[in-house]
Amino acid sequence: MRENKGKIDVPMAEQFLADHEDTFLNQKKADQRSLCGHVDAAKEGVAIWDWGPYYPGGAVQGKATSSDMAANMSFVARAGHPCGEDFYAKPFLAAHPEYAWQKPILRNMIAGPWTAFHSVEKSAQEIASPTE
Protein backbone atom coordinates (compact mmCIF):
# COMPACT_ATOMS: atom_id res chain seq x y z
CA MET A 1 0.00 0.00 0.00
CA ARG A 2 2.90 2.37 0.65
CA GLU A 3 3.89 2.44 -3.01
CA ASN A 4 0.33 3.42 -3.96
CA LYS A 5 -0.26 6.05 -1.27
CA GLY A 6 -1.60 9.21 -2.87
CA LYS A 7 -1.94 7.53 -6.28
CA ILE A 8 -5.05 5.41 -5.78
CA ASP A 9 -7.76 6.26 -8.28
CA VAL A 10 -10.99 4.52 -9.30
CA PRO A 11 -9.38 2.15 -11.87
CA MET A 12 -6.85 1.07 -9.23
CA ALA A 13 -9.68 0.57 -6.71
CA GLU A 14 -11.46 -1.65 -9.24
CA GLN A 15 -8.26 -3.73 -9.57
CA PHE A 16 -7.87 -3.96 -5.79
CA LEU A 17 -11.47 -5.12 -5.32
CA ALA A 18 -10.96 -7.79 -8.01
CA ASP A 19 -7.75 -9.01 -6.35
CA HIS A 20 -7.18 -12.74 -5.94
CA GLU A 21 -4.09 -12.44 -3.75
CA ASP A 22 -4.18 -14.61 -0.63
CA THR A 23 -1.66 -12.77 1.54
CA PHE A 24 -1.79 -15.49 4.23
CA LEU A 25 -0.56 -18.14 1.76
CA ASN A 26 1.36 -15.56 -0.29
CA GLN A 27 -0.10 -16.80 -3.57
CA LYS A 28 -2.62 -15.86 -6.21
CA LYS A 29 -5.73 -17.76 -5.24
CA ALA A 30 -9.39 -16.74 -5.33
CA ASP A 31 -10.58 -17.78 -1.88
CA GLN A 32 -11.99 -16.53 1.41
CA ARG A 33 -8.91 -14.37 2.04
CA SER A 34 -8.76 -12.58 -1.30
CA LEU A 35 -10.42 -9.18 -1.56
CA CYS A 36 -12.68 -10.52 -4.30
CA GLY A 37 -14.17 -12.93 -1.76
CA HIS A 38 -14.60 -16.40 -3.24
CA VAL A 39 -15.63 -18.40 -0.18
CA ASP A 40 -17.28 -20.88 -2.58
CA ALA A 41 -13.75 -21.84 -3.70
CA ALA A 42 -12.36 -22.24 -0.16
CA LYS A 43 -12.04 -25.77 1.19
CA GLU A 44 -11.44 -24.26 4.65
CA GLY A 45 -14.65 -22.20 4.68
CA VAL A 46 -14.88 -19.43 7.28
CA ALA A 47 -15.19 -20.99 10.74
CA ILE A 48 -15.76 -17.72 12.59
CA TRP A 49 -18.92 -17.15 10.49
CA ASP A 50 -19.92 -20.82 10.78
CA TRP A 51 -19.49 -21.21 7.02
CA GLY A 52 -18.34 -24.72 6.12
CA PRO A 53 -16.03 -25.73 3.27
CA TYR A 54 -17.00 -24.21 -0.10
CA TYR A 55 -19.82 -22.20 1.44
CA PRO A 56 -21.61 -20.19 -1.28
CA GLY A 57 -20.67 -16.81 0.13
CA GLY A 58 -18.30 -13.97 -0.58
CA ALA A 59 -18.27 -10.69 -2.45
CA VAL A 60 -21.40 -10.11 -4.53
CA GLN A 61 -20.64 -6.57 -5.63
CA GLY A 62 -17.87 -4.03 -5.77
CA LYS A 63 -18.13 -0.27 -5.41
CA ALA A 64 -15.56 2.52 -5.68
CA THR A 65 -15.53 6.28 -5.78
CA SER A 66 -13.07 9.14 -5.73
CA SER A 67 -13.34 12.43 -3.84
CA ASP A 68 -14.35 14.18 -7.08
CA MET A 69 -16.98 11.54 -7.84
CA ALA A 70 -18.31 11.66 -4.27
CA ALA A 71 -18.59 15.46 -4.45
CA ASN A 72 -20.72 14.93 -7.55
CA MET A 73 -22.78 12.14 -5.96
CA SER A 74 -21.43 9.39 -8.21
CA PHE A 75 -19.59 6.09 -7.94
CA VAL A 76 -18.78 2.99 -10.01
CA ALA A 77 -20.11 -0.43 -9.16
CA ARG A 78 -20.13 -3.96 -10.49
CA ALA A 79 -22.77 -6.56 -9.67
CA GLY A 80 -21.35 -10.01 -8.97
CA HIS A 81 -17.78 -10.86 -8.07
CA PRO A 82 -15.63 -7.73 -8.51
CA CYS A 83 -13.22 -9.76 -10.70
CA GLY A 84 -16.00 -10.41 -13.24
CA GLU A 85 -16.30 -14.17 -12.66
CA ASP A 86 -19.80 -15.60 -12.74
CA PHE A 87 -21.31 -17.97 -10.18
CA TYR A 88 -23.70 -20.66 -11.40
CA ALA A 89 -25.92 -22.29 -8.79
CA LYS A 90 -26.71 -25.58 -10.56
CA PRO A 91 -23.11 -26.79 -11.12
CA PHE A 92 -22.14 -25.48 -7.67
CA LEU A 93 -24.91 -27.52 -6.02
CA ALA A 94 -23.99 -30.59 -8.10
CA ALA A 95 -20.40 -30.32 -6.81
CA HIS A 96 -21.46 -29.46 -3.24
CA PRO A 97 -24.71 -31.31 -2.42
CA GLU A 98 -24.28 -30.44 1.26
CA TYR A 99 -25.75 -27.03 0.33
CA ALA A 100 -28.82 -28.48 -1.44
CA TRP A 101 -30.94 -26.89 1.29
CA GLN A 102 -30.14 -23.53 -0.36
CA LYS A 103 -31.50 -24.59 -3.76
CA PRO A 104 -34.77 -22.64 -3.43
CA ILE A 105 -32.90 -19.38 -2.83
CA LEU A 106 -29.46 -19.84 -4.42
CA ARG A 107 -29.34 -18.01 -7.74
CA ASN A 108 -26.85 -17.55 -10.54
CA MET A 109 -24.73 -14.48 -10.06
CA ILE A 110 -23.73 -13.10 -13.44
CA ALA A 111 -21.09 -10.42 -13.11
CA GLY A 112 -21.87 -7.16 -14.82
CA PRO A 113 -19.44 -4.55 -16.09
CA TRP A 114 -18.10 -1.74 -13.95
CA THR A 115 -20.77 0.94 -14.38
CA ALA A 116 -20.88 4.58 -13.30
CA PHE A 117 -23.90 5.73 -11.31
CA HIS A 118 -24.83 9.39 -10.89
CA SER A 119 -27.34 11.15 -8.69
CA VAL A 120 -29.93 13.32 -10.38
CA GLU A 121 -29.64 15.76 -7.49
CA LYS A 122 -27.29 18.70 -7.69
CA SER A 123 -23.81 18.35 -6.26
CA ALA A 124 -22.48 20.59 -3.49
CA GLN A 125 -20.36 22.31 -6.13
CA GLU A 126 -23.43 23.08 -8.30
CA ILE A 127 -25.36 24.41 -5.31
CA ALA A 128 -22.44 26.67 -4.27
CA SER A 129 -21.88 27.97 -7.83
CA PRO A 130 -25.20 27.81 -9.72
CA THR A 131 -25.00 28.30 -13.46
CA GLU A 132 -27.49 30.47 -15.30
Distance CA 57, CA 93 (A): 13
Q: How confident is the model at residue 132 (pLDDT cuts 50, 70, 90)?
A: low
Residue 2's pLDDT is what?
Answer: 83
User: Is residue 130 pLDDT above 90, yes or no?
Assistant: no
Q: What is the pLDDT of residues 34-74, one digit of tens each?
A: 999 899 999 999 999 999 999 999 889 999 999 999 999 99
> How crowded is residue 128: how many other Cβ atoms within 10 Å of its Cβ?
8
User: Is residue 120 pLDDT above 90, yes or no?
Assistant: no
User: Is residue 124 pLDDT above 90, yes or no?
Assistant: no
In this structure, are residues 59 and 87 in contact, taking their beta carbons and an 8 Å threshold?
Answer: no
Q: Where are the domains of the chain?
A: 2-119
